[in-house]
């Protein structure tokens, strides 16, 4: 029977649910785009975005998605033939590395597989061996959206320092920023990559790049600079249109202002704590469902299971059919398995504008669908998830430190 009426819910790892206030702030006719309130609001967004990454560095906003932000980071800092070290733990660092290769960098990848994190000791060992300092940049993802792994960005920094290596440290936080703790300056990160549509709760369309002093220095001798992405005009004081290399993304600027206000009102630490609760609820559900031949959390080490997105291996359960029933008959959209996972896994996004009815609704719909399919299930996931939420309702907010 088809029960799919009412408000559909999309529980994928981005784009995430857009808050009504953010949507409403976009619904307006065009203001003067050369001066006045829009330009003031835009400047305030440029001033406030570094607070989200905990940096004193600069932020660049481009009309693009995360892939565009990747390209902006590489073209503005690299020289043709530069060696780039990619630390892979899923699909996303690999994709960024593929861009580097297409742009003319030499790419070396250390693949840590897609069920666990980057191992800082192996990074240190590789960097120590690079005595000529041929490696110019290290690319890693904080949370890989395909595998659901949460890498320890501070520990990788320590490994780079222990090897005394000067490479630029570049971190993709598209799936993690404003969902889990991130301290760009304290962790000595030179480039941070973000996108508007995940933890930042804004529709897709803004690619974000934060740059340290060292990254801006590298820009001065970069050889791959192209007109649109070029940081130089975007850094100039003066006409606002230079910041976006043309017409600004007016509606997105209003949306980002509203989203930042919401994040600061709640407090970033409370935002992170809320993400931990919902992630714990999802994990508790999956572990309760687990049965021989049934579901399993992809990331084996609890400390490295991400608080923004979870990848679940299907075992003998047909994930594609499960997702189809959820979507068609119940109005719940779940994330597909990416890369090597394909139909062997599915993903639940639990980032951004979320509350218990949304998380429990997602888990309850999955549980009902599993029961309908006659899938092997150990116990009630929804009961386990409710216990996590009940416990959280009874205590103070507490965020989980970066995986260590």
Binding positions for ligand PLP, rule: CB under 6 A: 14, 65-67, 92, 141, 144-145, 172, 174-175, 195, 204
Are 338 and 312 within 8 A, CB to CB? no
Report which residue's Cβ sits closest to ligand PLP: 66
Token pair belonging to 308: 């923004």
* Smallest gap from residue 175 Cβ to ligand PLP (A): 3
Is 124 or 172 the residue whose CB approaches ligand PLP more closely? Answer: 172
Is 150 or 295 the residue whose CB approaches ligand PLP more closely? Answer: 150
Q: Count the Cβ atoms, other than its own, within 10 Å of residue 110.
A: 18
* Smallest gap from residue 37 Cβ to ligand PLP (A): 28
Is 10 or 44 the residue whose CB approaches ligand PLP more closely? Answer: 10
Is 116 or 315 the residue whose CB approaches ligand PLP more closely? Answer: 116
What does each C-alpha distance from 280 to 189, 283, 331, 384 come to in angstroms?
28, 5, 24, 10
Are 163 and 139 within 8 A, CB to CB? no
Is 345 or 377 the residue whose CB approaches ligand PLP more closely? Answer: 345
Are 135 and 102 within 8 A, CB to CB? no
What does each C-alpha distance from 335 to 137, 350, 384 come to in angstroms?
31, 11, 22
* Smallest gap from residue 380 Cβ to ligand PLP (A): 30
Is 152 or 172 the residue whose CB approaches ligand PLP more closely? Answer: 172
Q: Longest Cα pair distance anywhere in the chain, in angstroms?
A: 66
315, with CB counted inside 10 A (0-12, 13-18, 19+), is middle
The H or E element that residue 132 is part of is: none
* Smallest gap from residue 163 Cβ to ligand PLP (A): 25
Rounded distance between C-alpha atoms, residue 287 and residue 291, angstroms: 9
* Smallest gap from residue 194 Cβ to ligand PLP (A): 9
* Smallest gap from residue 339 Cβ to ligand PLP (A): 12
């Amino acid at each position: 029977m088809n029960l799919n009426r009412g408000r559909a819910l999309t529980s994928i790892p981005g784009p995430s649910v857009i808050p009504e206030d953010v949507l409403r702030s976009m619904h307006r006719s065009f203001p003067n785009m050369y001066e006045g309130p829009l330009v003031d609001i835009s400047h305030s967004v440029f001033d406030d975005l570094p607070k989200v990454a905990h940096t004193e560095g600069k932020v660049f906003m481009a009309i693009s998605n995360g892939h565009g932000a990747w390209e902006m980071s590489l073209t503005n800092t690299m020289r043709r033939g530069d060696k780039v070290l990619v630390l892979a733990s899923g699909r996303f660092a690999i994709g960024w590395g593929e861009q580097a290769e297409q742009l003319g960098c030499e790419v070396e990848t250390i693949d840590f597989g897609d069920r666990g994190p980057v191992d800082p000791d192996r990074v240190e060992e590789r960097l120590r061996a690079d005595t000529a300092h041929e490696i110019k940049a290290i690319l890693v993802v904080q949370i890989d959206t395909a595998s659901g792994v949460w890498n320890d960005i501070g520990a990788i920094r320590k490994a780079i320092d222990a090897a005394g290596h000067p490479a630029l440290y570049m971190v993709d936080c598209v799936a993690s920023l404003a969902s889990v703790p991130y301290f760009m300056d304290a962790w000595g990160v030179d480039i941070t990559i973000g996108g508007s549509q995940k933890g930042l709760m804004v529709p897709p369309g803004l690619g974000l790049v934060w740059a340290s002093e060292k990254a801006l220095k590298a820009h001065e001798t970069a050889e791959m600079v192209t007109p649109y992405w070029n940081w130089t005009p975007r850094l100039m004081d003066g006409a606002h249109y230079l910041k976006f290399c043309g017409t600004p993304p007016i509606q997105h600027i209003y949306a980002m202002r509203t989203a930042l206000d919401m994040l600061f009102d709640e407090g970033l630490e409370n935002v992170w704590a809320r993400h931990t609760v919902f992630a714990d609820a999802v994990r508790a559900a999956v572990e309760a469902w687990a049965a021989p031949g049934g579901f399993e959390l992809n990331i084996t080490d609890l400390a490295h299971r991400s608080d923004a997105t979870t990848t679940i291996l299907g075992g003998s359960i047909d994930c594609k059919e499960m997702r189809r029933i959820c979507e068609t008959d119940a109005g719940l959209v779940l994330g597909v398995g990416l890369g090597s996972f394909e139909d062997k896994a599915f993903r639940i996004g639990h980032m951004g504008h979320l509350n218990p009815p949304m998380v429990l609704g997602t888990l309850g719909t999955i549980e009902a669908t599993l029961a309908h399919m006659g899938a092997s299930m150990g116990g009630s996931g929804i009961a386990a998830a409710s216990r996590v939420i009940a416990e959280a309702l009874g205590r103070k907010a507490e965020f989980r430190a970066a995986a260590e």
